[in-house]
Structure 1
Amino acid sequence: MKLAGLKSVENAHDESVWAATWVPATETRPALLLTGSLDESVKLWRPDELELERTNTGHCLGVVSVAAHPSGVIAASASLDSFVRVFDVDTNATIATLEAPPSEVWQMQFDPKGTTLAVAGGGSASIKLWDTATWKLVATLSIPRPEGPKPSDKSSSKKFVLSVAWSPDGRRLACGSMDGTISVFDVARSKFLHHLEGHFMPVRSLVYSPSDPRVLFSASDDAHVHMYDAEGKSLVGAMSGHASWVLSVDASPDGAGHCDRIK
């Protein structure tokens, strides 16, 4: 299969685009492309011609992550200002503003049913779970500290959590850390299960296969994409070919393929 670009827009944002995701279609409009930038803005685009639908502002620092609710009605943006802004896609009305300590708001994702928003917790070495009905923090899934009498701050900082992904059945959450490890949690029990190893640099992006809740793809600064059996705790495939950081990875809806984005 040969791939070709359909449309591109120069200077779509005033600064680097750090995040992008699809907003599902609703009964009244088609799917939209949502982008977030270091210029502190979030933009909505009509994908066919990449026509700008709307520019949303409200953050005081660069936007590092965007996420769309499965219904397509609401979306969220996370910024270096340590706030998550939840907004109505069609009106831009703010639904909720979620505040976190500095360096604790990074990649985020709604669960498949849309009941929970998971936010990678950065320096807290955790995943924060927010209830989408009340917008209250309902759980914190923390990566266990290294064993020993006095775990050092240095070793803890290596677990800085950058990325997060839900399994398609909503039973598992995985997060990627600065040290290259991936942590897997049982959501219902709020329990850490195990680490997945193989990367040796930050894991920037994770995605489960939509067709198999055991299969997890990861993208890392070590220029590799890995495929894991997330339940069996094993690395089943490693893909190379990039010359620099792999910043993002995604899986096709039927689970038959994946794509990745490099620096």
Structure 2
Amino acid sequence: MKLAGLKSIENAHDDSVWAAAWVPATEARPALLMTGSLDETVRFWKSDDLVLERTNTGHCLGVVSVAAHPSGVIAASASIDSLVRVFDVDTNATIASLEAPPSEVWQMRFDAKGTTLAVAGGGSASIKLWDTATWRLTATLSIPRPEVSKPSDKSGSKKFVLSVAWSPDGKRLACGSMDGTISVFDVARGKFLHHLAGHYMPVRSLVFSPNDSRKLFSASDDAHVHIYDVEGKSLIGAMSGHASWVLSVDASPDGEAIATGSSDKTVRLWDLRMRAALQTMSNHTDQVWGVAFRPGVRAAGRLASVSDDKSISLYDYS
């Protein structure tokens, strides 16, 4: 497995690019790459050549997260303006505006069936679940303190939720917090199950293996990438190599590799069998906030990365 650089677009946005997600193909069009930036816009790019399709506006502050519905028809963007905007991908028509109090949204993910949008609730130390048929709030999953809470930790700020991930079967939700803990929930019962320990700094990104609902990958400011068995509550692997914070992680569609983006300005490709970095890509000149594999495509795989340097890079994954 390897990455080969295909194309980089400098000044893809007018400010730092903090978020990227692939919008699945529909009958009317191929897959698109969606990016969100501190310039307050969401942009859509053709998936093989990074030609700009359109620019969507609607936020009055920077966009920190984007998520695509599995149908490819709708998407969501979250902004520092405390608003999650749900919109039609092809027309930019607003479908719903989900209000979140200040700093209450950091990351969002649709489940595999597209019935629920999970929103990492920032300072509220919770995950909010929204029904995608009615856009009503159906549940708030609150994160309890770890059993071994440090006596000095009197504030709730350490529980600020940064990241969220769905298991492929939709039964589990994992979220990463500022204090390094990962919390796992049973979605159907709305019940907290357990914490996964091992990180001691913010967990900024999480992704489950596409092939295994037990296996979870985490990226942390401690410069490590962890592999957990979610059901067994155990750390089964730790990988290091980045020189600084690991800001993003995504799993390849074949489940054999993960990619990470870091504040050391690099993108790394990791072989999960060897549990080692195979490649380091140095296309960016500033920290890499997002990496995203194009889902579902076994041949002609694609990986995108976005950065504080305002650029987008596209790689062939084979």
Same fold (TM > 0.5) = yes
Aligned to 2:204: 204
Aligned to 2:3: 3
Deviations 1:174-229 (A, max 9, x none): 00000000000000000000000111110000000011100000001111110000
Deviation of 1:153 after TM superposition, in Å, equals 7.9
| Distance change >3 Å, CA 199–CA 145, structure 1 → 2 | closer
Amino acid at match of 1:13: H
Aligned mates of 1:152, 1:141 — CA distance in 2 = 25
Moved over 4 A (4+): none
Tell whether the 8 Å contact from 2:229 to 2:236 is kept in structure 1 after alignment.
yes
Aligned to 2:25: 25
1:229-248 paired onto structure 2 within 5 Å? 229-248=229-248
Deviation of 1:253 after TM superposition, in Å, equals 1.4
Deviations 1:134-153 (A, max 9, x none): 001110000014679xx998
Aligned to 1:91: 91
> Number of aligned pairs?
261
Greater relative contact order (Cα 8 A, min sep 6): structure 1 or 2? Answer: 2
Computed over aligned residues only, the root mean square deviation of the Cα atoms, in angstroms, reads 1.4
Say which SS state the counterpart of residue 176 (structure 1) adopts: strand
Tell whether the 8 Å contact from 2:38 to 2:64 is kept in structure 1 after alignment.
yes
Aligned mates of 1:31, 1:177 — CA distance in 2 = 31
Deviations 1:28-59 (A, max 9, x none): 10000000000111000002111100100111
Deviation of 1:155 after TM superposition, in Å, equals 3.7
Say which SS state the counterpart of residue 156 (structure 2) adopts: helix
TM-score, normalization by structure 1: 0.96
Structure 2 stretches of 5 or more lacking a match?
264-318
Deviations 1:119-163 (A, max 9, x none): 000000000000000001110000014679xx9984421110000
Aligned mates of 1:177, 1:45 — CA distance in 2 = 31
Say which SS state the counterpart of residue 140 (structure 2) adopts: strand
| Distance change >3 Å, CA 154–CA 44, structure 1 → 2 | farther
**Bigger shift: 215-224 or 153-162?**
153-162
Tell whether the 8 Å contact from 1:146 to 1:156 is kept in structure 2 after alignment.
no
Aligned to 1:255: 255
1:173-184 paired onto structure 2 within 5 Å? 173-184=173-184
Amino acid at match of 1:141: L
Deviation of 1:255 after TM superposition, in Å, equals 1.4
Tell whether the 8 Å contact from 2:146 to 2:195 is kept in structure 1 after alignment.
no
**Bigger shift: 251-260 or 211-220?**
251-260
1:48-197 paired onto structure 2 within 5 Å? 48-145=48-145, 154-197=154-197
**Bigger shift: 153-162 or 198-207?**
153-162
Among all aligned residue pairs of Structure 1 and Structure 2, give the percentage whose two residues are the same amino acid.
Answer: 85
Aligned mates of 2:250, 2:71 — CA distance in 1 = 20
TM-score, normalization by structure 2: 0.80
Say which SS state the counterpart of residue 204 (structure 1) adopts: strand
Aligned mates of 2:2, 2:170 — CA distance in 1 = 34
Aligned mates of 2:234, 2:9 — CA distance in 1 = 41
Confirm or deny that 1:213 pairs with 2:213.
yes
| Distance change >3 Å, CA 254–CA 4, structure 1 → 2 | closer
